[in-house]
Structure 1
Amino acid sequence: MDCTLATCPVSESIYQYKPSLAGNAALLAIFAASGIVHSLQYFFWRNASFSIPMILGCLTEVIGYVGRVLLADDPFSQIGFLIQICCLTLAPAFFSASIYFCLADIVRLFGEEASWVKAKHYAWIFIPCDLVSLILQGTGGGLASVAADKNTDQAPGTNTMIAGLAFQVITLVVFMTLTGGFIFRTMKARSIQEKEMGAPPKLPISRERLATFAIPFALAIITIFTRCVYRVAELSEGWEGDLIHDEVTFVILEGVMIAIAVICLNIGHPKLLNQK
């Protein structure tokens, strides 16, 4: 608690390294820029169910990286640690919520007959799951922060965060399974129609618009899933594990993965599905 760079080696800080100021400032700028773009997209397109969680997620990421910047100045900063551990753990759950709402739009566009779940039920299934994940991660982050502040056992808070992250991973697996099943059944139905009609059935939107949405959307899901698996592995090792003390791995599998996701969701905005 009394350590500073003048009195203690960096190896005695929680992360055992001095975070990169340039790297964390760059990620902060990326999330701020993406959040501004998402805000403008909401202003022009009014897609609240998608844009508002994205804006909240970007704002939470920005606050989290402010904490990392504080740690770059002072790796013993208790405030910096508390800010970043809560915000960076929590933020991607907002992005997942936006993605869950998108699948309902996709199902409505291509037809519910190919979906195992009715379009209106996707929000009923996945948004409560996302809320559970948010509550567990937020509660765990709060408990871990209080424990760190009091220099007591952080295991209960850490385990609660792990539970929230693991639940998010399971939810994403179910989501990806349903999405993959819907795509497979839709393609199979279109193949049958093509054989019967002698020509491919007309798409509800142009191929160019579909590709502009689908490719970034799929990449966003993959990167968020990758990040969640990494955070489960990182926190499962505890505060003395190798992963939590490796900044390069953190930057790539946490920062870069989520940065790619938010940019992809700027590009693959669901408004593309509603325009001919």
Structure 2
Amino acid sequence: MVNQHEITLGCHPLIPGYHTEYGYVPTQAAGIAFLVLFGLSFVLHTVQFCWKRTWWCSVFAIGCITELIGWGGRTWSSSCPYNGTAFLMQISTLIIAPVFFTAGIYILLGRFIQIFGRESSILTPKWYLWIFVTCDVVSLVVQAIGGGMASSAVGGNGSTAVGTHIMVAGIIFQLVSITVFVFFAVDFVRRTIRYRMLQSLTRSVVPLLVAMVISLLCIYARSIYRTIELLQGWSGYLITHEKYFIGLDGAMMVVAVGIFNVLHPGWLLPDSGRASTIKSEESSDGTEMHVADRT
């Protein structure tokens, strides 16, 4: 007879007919690949934000660390598929890692608003941080609590219902907050295009704006996947098939954070002096008008 307590504490190989908490054995090659990718992104982000002194970009590096812990847990599980600590590592970190990436996007949009002017956005940069970072923190805490409760229940052969419901509530709350932010981001893009604010900054800002949109879409797609996955339950189709996790979580997060290694804000965002000069030149040429004049 299998002693569940012993195999969840040790490193027991797969037992035929005895299912793992994942519903499968995580692929070691995938775990190593994502460890390398997030590790490389972490190193690059650390060098980049230190070099350019864009300290707020450290949130991308912190997110990479969180991903590394999670994928470390999954790689560990590939050899020890029943180990409860490895399972707890991955479920408690990979569910919350995107919070750090969205925080960076919130700050980046605030920088764009400072460059293009207050008329480019409904909200001020300060309100973006207060509202959406607060929502992310709430979501992070709720998901972490739910993940801990669910994984403990799985390890102790108890009911995962309460923990799962808490996790679902947290990720749905995150999905709603991201949806609201997407609305504001789309409105920002619409305003900058409509009022031709990009003309003087096309070479630097437009690629970075595209990077922000791509990153946000990846995080949004991942949030939709995670919501559906958890709604299906621990024995659902999505959660028990690794290919969806690799493609709709791991790959999405690599793109979401990696694109800022290629198009880093420290290299592409103009400094405040340059932005002010451009805005002054636009005003003297009559290309920048107040919202009241445009409506």
| TM-score normalized by the length of structure 2 | 0.84
Aligned residues: 263
Q: What are the equivalent positions in structure 2 for 1:67-216 lying under 5 Å apart?
A: 67-190=73-196, 203-205=199-201, 207-216=202-211
Q: Who wins on radius of gyration, i.e. which is larger?
A: 2
- In structure 2, C-alpha distance between the alignment counterparts of 1:161 and 1:253, rounded to whole Å: 18
Q: 1:217 aligns with which of 212, 236, 239?
A: 212
> What per-residue deviation string (whole Å, max 9, x for no partner) do you get for residues 77-131 of structure 1?
2121111111111111111111111111111111111311122221111111111
Structure 2 spans left out of the alignment, 5+ residues: 275-295
- 2:26 aligns with 19
Contact 2:13 2:80 in 1 (8 A): yes
- In structure 2, C-alpha distance between the alignment counterparts of 1:268 and 1:161, rounded to whole Å: 33
> What per-residue deviation string (whole Å, max 9, x for no partner) do you get for residues 28-48 of structure 1?
110011011111112112222
Contact 2:192 2:198 in 1 (8 A): no
- 2:270 aligns with 274
The alpha-carbon deviation at position 270 of structure 1 amounts to 2.4
RMSD (CA atoms): 1.7
Task: Tell me whether 230-239 or 266-275 shows the greater mean CA deviation.
Answer: 266-275
Task: Tell me whether 265-274 or 229-238 shows the greater mean CA deviation.
Answer: 265-274
Q: 2:249 aligns with which of 233, 254, 263?
A: 254
Contact 1:11 1:17 in 2 (8 A): no
The one-letter code of the counterpart of 2:269 is L
> What per-residue deviation string (whole Å, max 9, x for no partner) do you get for residues 29-73 of structure 1?
100110111111121122222x22211110010010111011111
| TM-score normalized by the length of structure 1 | 0.90
- In structure 1, C-alpha distance between the alignment counterparts of 2:34 and 2:212, rounded to whole Å: 21
The alpha-carbon deviation at position 202 of structure 1 amounts to 7.2
The one-letter code of the counterpart of 1:253 is L
Tell me the SS of whatever aligns to 2:123. coil
- 1:193 aligns with none
The alpha-carbon deviation at position 204 of structure 1 amounts to 4.6
Structure 1 spans left out of the alignment, 5+ residues: 191-200
The one-letter code of the counterpart of 1:273 is L
Identity %: 35
The one-letter code of the counterpart of 2:261 is N
The one-letter code of the counterpart of 1:137 is Q
1:236 lines up with 2:243 in the alignment: no
The one-letter code of the counterpart of 1:124 is W
